[in-house]
Structure 1
Amino acid sequence: MNWNTLAESVLNGNPINETEALSILTADDDELLPLMHAAFTIRKRYYGKLVKLNQIINTKSGYCPEDCGYCSQSSISSAPIEKYTMLTKEEIVKGAKQAHELQVGTYCIVASGRGPLPRDFETVVDAVKEIKENYPMKICACLGILNSRQAERLKEAGVERYNHNINTSEDHHSSITTTHTYNDRVATLEKVKEAGISPCSGVIVGMGETYEDLVKMAFALKALDADSIPVNFLHAIPGTPLEHLDELNPRFCLKVLALFRFVNPTKEIRISGGREVNLRSLQALGLYAANSIFVGNYLTTDGQASTADHKMLEDLGFEIEYSALPEKETC
């Protein structure tokens, strides 16, 4: 496969097909650098050398009734994590201030559970309103399954983006969780879009799926028109049903990122959870396909120090996509 020719075809408005997508995943490792160069050709057309920084605040940890096999917060996990109920509005706003100081463009408010409890939901709404008054950053909420009215209220409060990952392919979904369906996740994304909120949905790679499943995931997110696609790589946590899985290597992770860039050329592709333990010394190369990363820690696992992330971007010659807070008028 001539990867540059394929990239030029994509840039000329010709979507790749599933066979071509599969060839990205099965490419020989000797083709890795030409493949990443071709992915960068697409990424550069739409995003230049800009990188968007995202940061998570885990506002409610554990106590989740769902049985997702990868998650340390699920009802079937015995992982020794910190558990706590909903943070206060003040704590959530304080987290936004810290994110702003790190030049974060999108602040992600995440809470465990099937869906938001009424009191927890009101806390998020109030926090979002205060954050939007003080900090020029996008707000992404991730609160589980929503109804239409909840989606509308988040939009009214100032939430620009809502995350609800499909996580895996429809065919593989029942192997990962049984307490909700793939269609439950899609339905929430549709409600979010109807409310005028930008849909964020991604995947977790390395959960026993096939190459064909990965291709289906990339095309499913294209069909859903997800604006932001977080690509997570399984960080197998002791105490979870998937603790034994160790299927990934850095080279394959890079091919996955290239796959998602080729299938979804104009979309934000974010290197997300598990990048530090799976991409390891090749993390920087991932940004030749992706244009976004998380900084700081994840939900229950540690991330790379934010100073190291900023240094990585500097070494690459990339720039942070960020809008500074306007100067306040003085008397």
Structure 2
Amino acid sequence: MPDVPVALSSNPRSTEPERPRLSPEEARRAIRGAEAALLDERRQLTHDELSALADVPDASVPALAALAHEVRLAWCGDTVEVEGILSAKTGGCPEDCHFCSQSSKFESAVQATPFLDTTDVLAAARETAALGASEFCIVLAIRGPDERTMQRVLELVPLVQEETGLNVAVSAGVLTPEQAKRFADGGVHRYNHNLETAESFFPEVVTTHSWAERFDTCQLVRNEGMELCCGVLLGMGESVEQRLELIGQLRAVEPAEVPLNFLNPRPGTPFAGRPLVEPLEALRWIALFRLGLPSVILRYAGGREVTLRELQALGLTAGINALIVGNYLTTLGRSPDEDLQMLEDLAMPIGALSKAI
């Protein structure tokens, strides 16, 4: 699939926003309370309960992760879903998402390319199916689809399904009601449209479209009966409070899947100099997204390699139950064999997942 071979980021590690940490005793009480709520009472945590968990000391993060793993097993089961993504139309995007090297607004190594040929798309889908994946996502670097793009995607969806048996997801930007209906009628299983960050922080990240436009597209997707894949990107400079705000806003759009990305700063973008999220802090937030969204498919996505390095397996015991394998859109992932071996080592079966509630 198209990609830009880039070196792993050498950015310094981040200094996370400071909030007073709970004492060890307070942390134990908060974790026990969350366990009772999620496993015994089978209810979502309140904002205040989540906020307390965000402040447990670093020494309590393994206990937080262990609870998140139990919650994942209780609410979603032990199956892990594997997905491959394909950048079918790369670069040249008119939007100014400050983290993205595909924007035409910034100087970067990513060059605009036309829509891939059908043979290339089918070849990538076959490679994805050979890994044991159940989902294949066609991704386009556009604000939203024009009529030609709509027709092209709607031609590809049944071809991929017939050729590979994979469920087909699409990521093509902001939709109109009519476009959402056509994608649903055309067999699109999931539609990806990320909120990325909290509404209150969004103007610091994007200026060419609004957070409300993203939220509205997410609602259209669900209204038409497609599963909603709605991802986030952590480490752009948002506060702890804004990460908690984002969890609440994800609850409002009720996604089936939440890809969890960590910023891997791209040369030439406004966020090129941002530091990486610390590994332990990444594990804290993997656990918190699971505890805040107990029923979703929580997918390892971009940035995990540079953020967690050798600790990636710990994310799968902290609430993650899905993976993007292979390369991402403009950055390199590790080899699919490494991820499949990790799942085998953890005795985690691969299969298809759908939203639990």
Distance in 1 (alpha carbons) for counterparts of 2:147 and 2:188? 17
Distance in 1 (alpha carbons) for counterparts of 2:329 and 2:32? 37
Distance 1:5 1:205, change over 3 A: same
Question: Which residue matches 1:299?
Answer: 329
SS in 1 for 2:75: helix
Distance 1:4 1:281, change over 3 A: farther
Question: Which residue matches 1:216?
Answer: 245
TM-score of the aligned structures, taking structure 1 as reference length: 0.94
Question: Which residue matches 1:85?
Answer: 114
Contact 2:264 2:276 in 1 (8 A): no
Distance in 1 (alpha carbons) for counterparts of 2:101 and 2:195? 18
Question: Which residue matches 2:36?
Answer: 8
Letter in 2 for 1:177: V
Counterpart of 2:338 (choices 308, 317, 321) is 308
Contact 1:90 1:127 in 2 (8 A): no
SS in 1 for 2:236: coil
Question: Which residue matches 1:23?
Answer: 52
User: Gaps spanning 5+ residues in structure 1: where?
Assistant: 324-331
Distance in 2 (alpha carbons) for counterparts of 1:119 and 1:91? 18
Runs of 4+ in 1 over 3 A off after TM superposition: none
Deviation at 1:138, TM superposition (A): 1.6
1:280 aligns with 2:309: yes
Give a deviation string over 1:173-193, Cα, whole Å, max 9, x none. 000011000000011111111
Distance in 2 (alpha carbons) for counterparts of 1:304 and 1:36? 24
Distance in 2 (alpha carbons) for counterparts of 1:45 and 1:60? 39
Counterpart of 1:203 (choices 226, 232, 246) is 232
1:254 aligns with 2:302: no
Distance in 1 (alpha carbons) for counterparts of 2:33 and 2:174? 41
Listed as ranges, the matches of 1:1-331 within 5 Å are: 1-2=27-28, 3-11=31-39, 12-288=41-317, 289-322=319-352
Deviation at 1:5, TM superposition (A): 4.0
Contact 1:7 1:262 in 2 (8 A): no
Distance in 2 (alpha carbons) for counterparts of 1:321 and 1:251? 28
Question: Which residue matches 2:13?
Answer: none
Deviation at 1:23, TM superposition (A): 2.6
- The range that moved more, 56-65 or 41-50, is 41-50
Distance in 2 (alpha carbons) for counterparts of 1:91 and 1:252? 39
Deviation at 1:255, TM superposition (A): 0.8
Contact 2:122 2:163 in 1 (8 A): no
Q: CA RMSD in A?
A: 1.4
Contact 2:276 2:307 in 1 (8 A): no
Deviation at 1:121, TM superposition (A): 2.0
Deviation at 1:139, TM superposition (A): 1.2
Question: Which residue matches 1:327?
Answer: none
Distance in 2 (alpha carbons) for counterparts of 1:85 and 1:318? 38
SS in 2 for 1:15: coil
- The range that moved more, 166-175 or 26-35, is 26-35
Deviation at 1:4, TM superposition (A): 4.3
Distance in 1 (alpha carbons) for counterparts of 2:304 and 2:177? 34
SS in 1 for 2:220: helix
Deviation at 1:247, TM superposition (A): 4.3
User: Gaps spanning 5+ residues in structure 2: where?
Assistant: 1-26
